Structure 1
Amino acid sequence: MPQLDPAPWFKILVLSWFIFLTVIPPKIMAQVYPNELNPLGTKKPETKAWVWPWY
């Protein structure tokens, strides 16, 4: 049965993974995202105790 002969299918599998691993990742990593994150700082904001108005 020809479909059980691994010779042509293994070459196709290796070639397709080679393309996936060499061509596609640089294209994805080259994308520019419009919303860049701005770090606000490492200082934590001061929190005040909650005053209960009915206490």
Structure 2
Amino acid sequence: MPQLNPSPWLSILVFSWLVFLTILPLKVTAHIYPNEPAPQTAQTTDTLKTESWTWPWH
């Protein structure tokens, strides 16, 4: 039964994990985000006003 021969499949598995663990993290971390996050100013609870929603329950 050729499906049970681990010789080609083991090398494919090892090579694919080698790619996943070496090349792909470098490509993912190399992305530059166009909008850098800006630090928000600290606000007190007095300046934040919340309004309740009026749901039309039927």
Is the shorter-chain TM-score for this pair beyond 0.5, marking a shared fold? yes
- Provide the TM-score with structure 2 as the length reference: 0.68
Report 1:13-52 matches (<5 A).
Answer: 13-41=13-41, 43-45=42-44, 46-47=46-47
Structure with larger Rg: 1
Which consecutive segments of 4 or more residues in structure 1 shift more than 4 A? none
Unpaired runs of at least 5, structure 2: 50-58
Specify the code of the residue in structure 1 equivalent to 2:43: K
Unpaired runs of at least 5, structure 1: 50-55
Which whole-Å CA distance do the structure 2 matches of 1:16 and 1:38 have between them? Answer: 38
- Provide the TM-score with structure 1 as the length reference: 0.70
Which whole-Å CA distance do the structure 2 matches of 1:26 and 1:48 have between them? Answer: 42
Q: Taking structure 1 as reference, are residues 16 and 48 closer, same or farther at Cα in structure 2, changes over 3 Å only? A: closer
Q: Say how many residue pairs are matched.
A: 48
Deviation digits for residues 12-55 of structure 1 (CA, Å, limit 9, x no counterpart): 101111011100111111010101110113x2233377xxxxxx
